[in-house]
Structure 1
Amino acid sequence: MTGRLVHTGQVVIDLVMQVPALPPVGGDVLALSTVEYVGGGFNVMAAAARAGATVVYAGGHGTGARGDRVRAELAAEGVTISQPATASIDTGVCVVLLDNTGERTFVTGSGAETAVGDPLPELDASDIGYVSGYSLVVPEKAEQVLAMQGGTLLVDPGPLVADIAPDIWARTLARTAVLSCNDREAQLLTGQSDPQAAASALAETVPAAAVVVVRTGAGGCVVAQNGTVQVVPSISVEVLDTNGAGDAHCGWFAAELLRGTDVLEAARRANIAAAIAVTRSGPATAPTRSEVDAKAL
């Protein structure tokens, strides 16, 4: 493995509340459990690090108890931090409502992770720069990310895909080597409800050599590359918590590409990693390489 995964997005504290159902407007529900985790971009980086990648966090982190926790848990995963802490602002919080189907709904209160600090590090030719849609909806942060030189970009637009300014999105796509999104996001981007049709449409928006991955949950993912669209199935598991599954997929997929793994095999192994992750409670539940190896035989 020669390159690094350089994550330019956001690490936050996830406040995960398991609820019987989402509350109605103006209503209230009693949470069945409430747990705090380090989440957001941490999930992708932890997944890639557990897969054996060298990982750098180039995003913001705050001054305060939440920032301290972020730094400690990144260090525990072996992730290097390239930016200094932002003075006078702590790391933000994301409230995650997890219903009894395993689906999750987010409310994010931003903090230092969205701050624009020192210039982002220049990527080496063999590096993959991870770009989050959460960065692209903050104009100053988006400009900083798009000014980053070198390497290749893996772009994950995330739930806020519809809020990204069209000009920023177009400039991002022009530099994208890998576009990874779930089927909901793919439909928002293309109007296509069929993941294969959506992947094909998305492939028309990125450079010819780019790879498009549409994650389909239990179905695995769809991969579009070089004019072809292929379904890559996953393994069957009992779902406990889908929070962080897409992050586990992205982190593992990036790590496999850094190892030189073929795109379809990288997608298959990322499917396995995401499937293992949803059998566990919490956002950063990506498996280790040995766990994926055992299922990939």
Structure 2
Amino acid sequence: MPRVLHTAQALVDVILEIDELPPRGGNANARSERWYAGGAVTTLIAAARTGAEAVHGGAHGTGPHGDLIREALARDGVILSDEIRPDVDTGYCTVLLEPSAERTFLTVYGAERQITAESLATLAPQPGDLVCISGYSLFEPTRDPLLEFLETLPEGVDVVLDPGDPFADFPRELQRRVLARTTVWTSNADEARALTDLDDLEDTPEAIRRRLAPGAAVVVRDGDRGCLVFHHGRGTQIPAFPQKAVDTNGAGDTHTGVMLAERALGADWESAATRANAAAGIAVTRHGTESAPTRAEVDEFLA
């Protein structure tokens, strides 16, 4: 069975619930503090809970943050392909969470930035595997090792790009190198509009598809309106399952993890996206980045 492999950073998310963001130079009191394993962890856990084999190829640190991440991955059977880095801990992201579920991020880097093309190659991708990459890995010092790794992948490996906010602002040549190897694009609506400069969201998947590798698929998430799936020259709107959100952190990564796992298990794109929409709908009703439902929970929800 194809595997879901991830190259991106695993970080600890420190979630601080606040009533509202303070003005610059001001002060705010947190109503609660929670620590979760985040970043690539969310996608991998979602894939594993769906039933796919999931492997992380990113770098891990030695210390309490690294321990927390590895414990979270181990609970769901996610495999690590690389060695732990000595003498440095994993980084963390402070997330300021408002009552509206809007989030603001502050990130401190650590061992997760210490990757090489050789360390990523420990994933040993095979034809049929789905290799996830993040736009946030295209900053130095992780950019060049990731690009070198991508250029060594064998034919038949799917490269899944989650562009994130920064991708549209990268130099055109860097975008070209990444998109030419990308066979699955998965993003939110703002990221799709930013890359294409198109206001009409329905036009963005086809425009993105023209810049990707032959036979690629494009998935654009649009919140409570579901997602657009475009492949083989046609687009389909997949309805969402709107829920009252208490925490949207990790919903997009949950969607990606479930959708890719369903593909690994043999589902078509439309079926995979439907189950991913359901999983994301469940995830936003739970706190934290490890909120992905199990396959049985998605079955029950859809029933």
TM-score by length of 2: 0.93
Instruction: Specify the SS of the correspondent of 2:247.
Output: coil
Q: Which of 180, 192, 199 is the equivalent residue of 2:205?
A: 199
Superposition pairs of residues 1-297 of structure 1, within 5 angstroms = 2-117=1-116, 118-120=119-121, 121-138=123-140, 139-150=143-154, 151-297=157-303
| Cα distance in 2 between the residues matched to 1:148 and 1:296 | 40
Which residue identity is paired with 1:149? L
Instruction: Specify the SS of the correspondent of 2:183.
Output: strand
Cα deviation 1:233-263 (Å, max 9, x = unaligned): 1113111110000000000010011011010
1:116/1:140 contact within 8 Å kept: no
C-alpha RMSD of the superposition = 1.5
Query: Which stretches of structure 1, 4 residues or more, deviate above 6 A after TM superposition?
Result: none
Cα deviation 1:166-202 (Å, max 9, x = unaligned): 3222111111111000011112111223321222221
Which residue identity is paired with 2:288? G
Deviates more, 1:267-276 or 1:102-111: 102-111
2:14/2:35 contact within 8 Å kept: yes
**% identity of equivalent residues:** 40
Which residue identity is paired with 2:125? L
Deviation at 1:104, TM superposition (A): 1.3
Distance change in 2, residues 1:9/1:119 (3 Å):
closer
Cα deviation 1:199-239 (Å, max 9, x = unaligned): 22212211241110111111110111122222111113111
1:10/1:113 contact within 8 Å kept: yes
1:114/1:141 contact within 8 Å kept: no
Distance change in 2, residues 1:295/1:166 (3 Å):
same
Instruction: Specify the SS of the correspondent of 1:155.
Output: strand
| Cα distance in 1 between the residues matched to 2:201 and 2:173 | 25
Instruction: Specify the SS of the correspondent of 2:297.
Output: helix
Deviation at 1:20, TM superposition (A): 1.5
Deviation at 1:71, TM superposition (A): 1.5
Deviates more, 1:158-167 or 1:180-189: 158-167
| Cα distance in 1 between the residues matched to 2:20 and 2:149 | 37
Cα deviation 1:130-167 (Å, max 9, x = unaligned): 11112122323432442341311111012332454432
Which residue identity is paired with 2:69? V
Which residue identity is paired with 1:142? L
Instruction: Specify the SS of the correspondent of 2:288.
Output: coil
Deviation at 1:7, TM superposition (A): 0.7
| Cα distance in 2 between the residues matched to 1:161 and 1:181 | 11
Deviates more, 1:51-60 or 1:188-197: 188-197
| Cα distance in 2 between the residues matched to 1:250 and 1:285 | 13
Aligned residues: 296
| Cα distance in 2 between the residues matched to 1:141 and 1:27 | 40
Gaps of 5+ in 2: none
| Cα distance in 2 between the residues matched to 1:135 and 1:148 | 17
| Cα distance in 2 between the residues matched to 1:141 and 1:185 | 24
Deviates more, 1:145-154 or 1:266-275: 145-154
Instruction: Specify the SS of the correspondent of 2:258.
Output: helix
1:142/1:168 contact within 8 Å kept: no
Which residue identity is paired with 1:135? S
| Cα distance in 1 between the residues matched to 2:196 and 2:23 | 30
TM-score by length of 1: 0.95
| Cα distance in 1 between the residues matched to 2:40 and 2:114 | 15
Instruction: Specify the SS of the correspondent of 1:176.
Output: coil
Gaps of 5+ in 1: none
Which residue identity is paired with 1:146? L
